[in-house]
Structure 1
Amino acid sequence: MTTLTPPFDTAAGDAAETESAPAPPDPAAAERQALIERWAQRHGIDVARRLAEAEDLADAVGKEITPENTTDTYAKSWRVWTRFCAATRLPEREASRGSLVAFVTWMLREGQQNGKGYAATSASTLLAGAVVGLRERGVAVSADDQAAARTALDGLAVKLLQNGERRGRGKAATAHLDGLRAIARTCPDTLAGARDKALTLTGFHYASRAQDPAGLLAGDVTLHPRGLIVSVLTGKTKHSVRDAKIPYGEDAELCPVRAWTAYRTRLAAEADPHWSRPAAPAFVGIDRWGRLTGGMGPDSVTRAIKRISARAGVPLAWTGHSLRIGLAVAGRKHGKDSVVIADQGGWARHSRSLQGYFVIDDGWDDNASAGLT
C-alpha cells in the first residue's frame, strides 16, 4: 500500500560500511555528571557524593513503584524503536518530526518481528512508550513533533480501514447471565471445577480484569453477613485498594458468595494447609492431574476464562476482560445507576470506556430506528 511506504530504503547498509559506528554518548549520564560537578563546586566532594547517592535512591524507588506491566511496555517500546532505527539507519537518540512519523509508518507497515504491521492501537502505545524511553535517555521530544506523529498514525489507520484491513483482536465478548448459568452447570465436581466457578462468578460481580484475581490473596476476600468483600488493588500509576462488596445472590446456582465458600472449603479439605493461609493466592493454578501449581497469573486467568466459557458452549469465547464488560452491561440493563456501576468496578465516574460499554446495551434499547417498521 503506497501510503505506508517510507521515503527511504530500509535495506541493510552498503557493503563498504564494514565498521560499526561508535556508540553515541549517553545524554542522561552526561547531564547527571554535570550536575554532580556543580554540587561539588557548591558543597564539596563529600556532599556531592551523598546527593548523588540520594539521586540513585530516587531512581531505584521510581523503578520499584512502577507497575510491572508499565515497565514491560516501556521496555518493549524501546526494543521496537531500536529495531526501527536499525532498519532505517536512523540514530536512536534523535526524535525529529520526520523520524517519529517514519516510526509510526514503519510500525503499521512492517513493525512486528514477523514482518507484519501492528494494529493502530498497539502502534499508539508503542509510540508513547518510545517517547518515554527517549526522554529517559535525555533526548528532547517536542509536543508538536509527537502530535505530528499521532496525526499521521490516525490518518494512516483510517487508510487501512478504507482498504479493508482489520487489525487487532477487537473488543472482548460481553459476559452475560445465560453464559454464567451455563458455566455454573458445566463446571465439574472437582477442586478445579469449584475454582473455575468461583473465579467466574466472583469476577463478574466485581467487574474483574484478568490481573485482578491474579493479584488477590486469600486474605483479600473476606466473608460478611451480607456477602463478600473483595479488596482489589487498582490503578496503573497511583495504586489504591477498592473494597468491592458482593451480596449473596438470590439464585443459589449463580451466587458468587456460595461459589467462593464452596471453593475455599474444598481447597482446605484437599490441599496442603499453607494454601489456605491469608497470604496464599486466592485463586490457585491446577494442572490436568489435579496438582496445585501456584498462584494464577493474568495470562492464566485469561486462558482459564476462555476455556471455561468454551466448555460451557458460550457462542463467543470470553476473555479476561469479558467479565468486566459484562458487569457494566448487565448493571445498566437492570437499571443500576452509572455511579454505582463505576464504583463497583473501579472506573472513574465519568469514564469514557464505561460509557462505551453502556452503548453495547443502550444501542438497542434506545435506538432511533426501533419500532419504525
Structure 2
Amino acid sequence: MSPDEEVVEAELVEDERLPALAEDRAPASGLPEEDPDAWLPAEVEEDIGAGIADSTDSAYKRDFAEYVAWCREVGRRSMPAAPQTVAHYISHLTRTPRERTGRPYSPSTLERIIASIRTMHSAAGVQPPETKGARKVVAGYKRRLSDADDARARPRKTSPALPSVLATALSVVDRATLKGKRDAAILLLGFACAARAVELAGLNVESVTEPEEVRGVGVRVRLYRKKVKKWQNVTVKYGKQPETCPVLAVRTYLEALAVEGHTSGPLFLRIDRWGYLAPPIYRGGKQVGDPAGRMTTDAISDVVELAMAAVGMRGRWRSHSLRRGFATAALVAKADPIHTSRHGGWADGSKAFQGYVQEADGLDDRNPLTEIGL
C-alpha cells in the first residue's frame, strides 16, 4: 500500500477529537491553533465514521492508545508525531515480547499500527507523520523473520472449507432442531456466496428471494460486500446432493423461522441452548447484543469453528474458511477465474484472489509435476 492510499484510508475513521490526548499535541508549525472553518456537523462526522468497519476502528484506537502510553513513558510527543518517533516506536515493538504470547508482534500487525498512528492523526485534524523510516524497520524485521523461517513472517490463513470438509462437518449437525437448520444454512450459504462473516450477519429474511429469472434454478441473495462497498445480487444454484444443497438448507431454515413467527428482519439469529429464538442477553444488569437478535460476526465464525471441532477437523477454522474454500474449490474445478472472482465479490485484480489462483494451480493438473510422471 502506498502512503497516499493509506492517507485516504485514514480519513475514513470516526473523529472523536481525542480530548484525553490534548497534552500530547502541539500545533503544526506555521499553522494557526484555531481554524474557524475546521469543523463538521454531527451528521457529517457520522457519515465519515460509517466509512470504516467497527472492528478496524476499535483496533486503530487500541493501537493508538498503546502508542500514546509509550510516548509518555519515554518522553516523546505523540501528536503531531515526528517521523523518528514512529520509527523508534516500531523498532521498540519488534524487540518487545507481548505478555499474552511471549513474542513480538508480526510484521502485518506492525503495518496496521503504523496505519493506526496516521489514521488517528487525521481524525484529530493533525497532519499524519511521514513513515518511511518506520516501514523500513518493518521490512528489515520481516527479512529477519523470513531468514529464520519464523511463522510470523507468513500470513496467518484460515483453513479452506472445501465441499468434502463441509459435508463431513454437516454430517453431525442436528438438522431436526432450529439451531441445526440455522447452522447448516450458515455453512452452505456462506460457502455458496463466498461471504464474509459481516456479510452473512447483515442478511435479512428479505435478502433471499426467488425472482422469475432464477425460478427452478435456485435463489437470489442480495448482500452488501463490505470490502468493496457494493451491493451484489448473488445467484445461488441447487446443489447436486440434498445434504449439501445451499438452496434447500436456506429454504428449510426460512420455513422454520416462519413457524416461529419470524418472517422479516435479521436472517441469522442467536438461539439459546433451549432452542429459544433471539433471547435477550444481559450483562451487569444491562441488555447487550442486538435487540432484534441478529448474530455477531464472532458468533458466525463460532458456528464454523464448532462444526469443524465436532468432527475433529484439524486446522484454523473461522468464517473466512467458507470464502477461501469456495475460491479454492471453484478454481480447482476449472471455473472461470473472472466469473469466480465476481461471484465472490472480489475486486478486479484483487491480490487476495490471485493468491487463491496460485494455490489452486498447485492442486490440479496445472501443477508441472502432474505430467512429469514420477
Give the alignment's TM-score, normalised by structure 2.
0.80
Contact 1:207 1:323 in 2 (8 A): yes
1:115-156 CA-partner distances (Å, limit 9, x unpaired): 7421211111121111111233344345xx412211210211
Which residues of structure 1 form unaligned runs of 5+?
1-20, 37-50
* Residue of structure 2 in register with 1:255 after alignment: 245
Written as runs of structure 1 = structure 2, the 5 A alignment for 1:119-134 is: 119-134=106-121
Which residues of structure 2 form unaligned runs of 5+?
1-20, 279-292
* Residue of structure 2 in register with 1:357 after alignment: 356
C-alpha deviation, 1:176, in angstroms: 0.8
Give the one of 232, 252, 262 matched to 2:223: 232
CA distance in 1, matches of 2:34, 2:83: 28
Contact 1:249 1:255 in 2 (8 A): yes
1:69-116 CA-partner distances (Å, limit 9, x unpaired): 332233123113213313432111142232121222222332746474
Structure 1's consecutive aligned runs of 4 or more residues displaced over 4 angstroms after TM superposition are 30-33, 51-57, 111-116
* Between 112-121 and 251-260, the greater mean CA deviation after superposition: 112-121
- SS state of the match for residue 229, structure 1? strand
* AA of the residue aligned to 1:134: H
Contact 2:209 2:219 in 1 (8 A): yes
CA distance in 2, matches of 1:116, 1:129: 21
* Residue of structure 2 in register with 1:338 after alignment: 337
1:322 aligns with 2:309: no
1:308-345 CA-partner distances (Å, limit 9, x unpaired): 12223433352110010111111111121111111111
* Residue of structure 2 in register with 1:241 after alignment: 231
* AA of the residue aligned to 1:243: N
- Which protein has the larger Cα radius of gyration, Structure 1 or Structure 2? 1
* AA of the residue aligned to 1:100: V
* AA of the residue aligned to 2:272: D
CA distance in 2, matches of 1:159, 1:326: 32
CA distance in 1, matches of 2:140, 2:247: 49
1:229-279 CA-partner distances (Å, limit 9, x unpaired): 11111134x63211111011122221100011111212222x3x2xx2322
C-alpha deviation, 1:33, in angstroms: 6.5
Written as runs of structure 1 = structure 2, the 5 A alignment for 1:133-212 is: 133-142=120-129, 145-167=130-152, 170-188=156-174, 189-212=176-199
CA distance in 2, matches of 1:111, 1:235: 34
CA distance in 1, matches of 2:251, 2:224: 22
CA distance in 1, matches of 2:244, 2:60: 40
* Residue of structure 2 in register with 1:70 after alignment: 56
1:106 aligns with 2:92: yes
CA distance in 2, matches of 1:316, 1:195: 23
Please identify which structure carries the higher helix content: 1
Contact 1:231 1:243 in 2 (8 A): yes
Could you say if the C-alpha distance between residues 56 and 251 of structure 1 is closer, same or farther in structure 2, counting changes exceeding 3 Å? closer
Contact 2:86 2:131 in 1 (8 A): yes
1:291 aligns with 2:293: no
Contact 2:157 2:316 in 1 (8 A): no
Q: Percent identity?
A: 26
CA distance in 2, matches of 1:92, 1:53: 23
Written as runs of structure 1 = structure 2, the 5 A alignment for 1:25-40 is: 25=25, 27=27, 34-36=34-36
Give the alignment's TM-score, normalised by structure 1.
0.80
C-alpha deviation, 1:372, in angstroms: 5.0
- SS state of the match for residue 362, structure 2? helix
CA distance in 2, matches of 1:25, 1:323: 45
1:216-236 CA-partner distances (Å, limit 9, x unpaired): 111112234121211111134
Contact 1:218 1:278 in 2 (8 A): yes
CA distance in 2, matches of 1:171, 1:340: 23
Contact 1:338 1:349 in 2 (8 A): no
Contact 1:204 1:323 in 2 (8 A): yes
Give the one of 41, 44, 47 matched to 1:58: 44
Contact 2:25 2:77 in 1 (8 A): no
CA distance in 1, matches of 2:68, 2:354: 37
Could you say if the C-alpha distance between residues 244 and 191 of structure 1 is closer, same or farther in structure 2, counting changes exceeding 3 Å? same
Contact 1:184 1:197 in 2 (8 A): yes
- SS state of the match for residue 58, structure 2? helix
